[in-house]
Amino acid sequence: MTWQRGEEGEIIATPGQMQRFAIDKNFDAVRSDPRNARYLRPLADPRAEELALAFADTNYSVIAHDHNGFATLEDSAECFEQCLITARKYSCEPEFAELICPGMDDDDDTDPEVA
């Protein structure tokens, strides 16, 4: 089965990609997979970690809003931790980043409003 995003049916991950990136059907990192162990701790680059924290906070806020909060503090903490793991993975793995946010890291940095 191929996983799809939204109503447009845009394909965002095949089962092979999910296995290669060690993610589940919700695109959460499989914590028991050793390939994700490095994302359970802060990134070595302080700037990359700062950006990952900001990205995680944004994603967490959207999820919390969409679900009208969390039932428990544990659920809230688990959600934020998963968002942070995903953000760190996004920062370190360009192919995973392209899967999550297609086109975000295109080489064309030209702002059409400025040009």
- Which residue would you say has higher pLDDT here, 3 or 65? 65
As a whole number of angstroms, the distance between CA 59 and CA 32 comes to 22
pTM of the model: 0.76
pLDDT for 6 equals 58
* Average pLDDT in the chain: 83
d(Cα 44, Cα 40) in Å, to the nearest integer? 12
Q: Please give the share of the chain, as a percent, with pLDDT higher than 70.
A: 80
Kindly list the domain boundaries of the chain, sorted by start residue. Answer: 3-100
